Structure 1
Amino acid sequence: MLVEAAVALACAGAPREPDRGYRMAFDGTAQSLRRWQQAGPGSFELTSKCRLRSRGGMGLLWWDRKLRRPYTVRATWRMVGDSNSGVFIGFPRAGDDPQVAITRGYEVQIDRTDVPENTTGALYGVQAPEVARRDRALRDGWNTFDITVGRRVVVRLNGVVVNTLVAPDPARVGGGYFGLQNHGDSDVVEYRDVQIRT
């Protein structure tokens, strides 16, 4: 199943154009969601404002094209209140199991309040962001992650480097898939667009 039936909702807007050097993985249209698959419970819905909104969980909406390093995932997102989500990178084909991304990839966390290793910009449970830099870069509304996967994993938040993992597990960065987390019933995060550069 691609995304829950809510994806059929009409969205009032033209497809977003990619930034220079990028291609769109999600451009605000239902058509761009054809290459995405939902694993696990919950879903994402396409809103009338052409955004993906998380619902329930814990699940994973993953893009079904394998990426080879180096690559960059650019995701523009906003959280409602103190919600939780994340962008997963470097995991093998997930099928219907969101745990594949958790145990065999890395999650770049979206969460306003938690211990440093589990807050926005962290590589969840692996490495905290540079908290002072992250706090200066983080906005109340829309934010953009640029997550570059190569020999290192570099996380930029609104253009500011907030995390660099120098010696990542080679199996998690050699190439793989990426996806978006829908964490739970009380966690609402929206994605405006998702782009990739290879």
Structure 2
Amino acid sequence: MIKKTGKIALIIILGFLVFITGKFFLEWKSVEVDHSLSQKPLFKAFNKQKQATIWSQEGEDAKTNDFKITSDSTSFEYYSCYINRNPALNITFSVGDGFSGGGYQIDILQNRYKVSPYSYTDNIKPLDFLNTGEYYKVLDSKLILNQESYQKGDRIFGYTELKIQEGYGPGKYIVEGKGYFKGKVN
């Protein structure tokens, strides 16, 4: 009886591991690597340009990206780029006024990545934790980085493209974005 229960438990555990591994390889796409990406003149031009902000055309920091989104529902927006490693590498393109905003997040794990939209607000309602978020589907994406792996303090150069369907039914819309980015892994 104990042997039979042990075999069933082992089959369930192995089945679960196969399912999780398959889901990882189906949902997470491969990162392309181009070691010469950092040599593009565009990145040198970023050093001479100022990052635009929501409050003014001229920011105080050197430009870190030219990521742009096109959609029927949005006008041109300036995106900031943040890069963290904790423990997976995370690249975030964000726009907002400090009180609310959103953008797109790229999580990178073992040379594979996943894109997802995100939003934030300081106007939290009592039952917001029950909200599972907006429906989205990544229709297409591409990520090119200048090396295979990064540690905190490394310089990162990259290019990304994304095409995401947000919402469903008659209210759905397609968001497309692309651009180059650079930064330091925090």
> Is TM-score (shorter-chain normalized) higher than 0.5?
no
Name whichever structure is richer in helix by fraction. Answer: 2
Q: Which structure has the greater CA radius of gyration?
A: 2
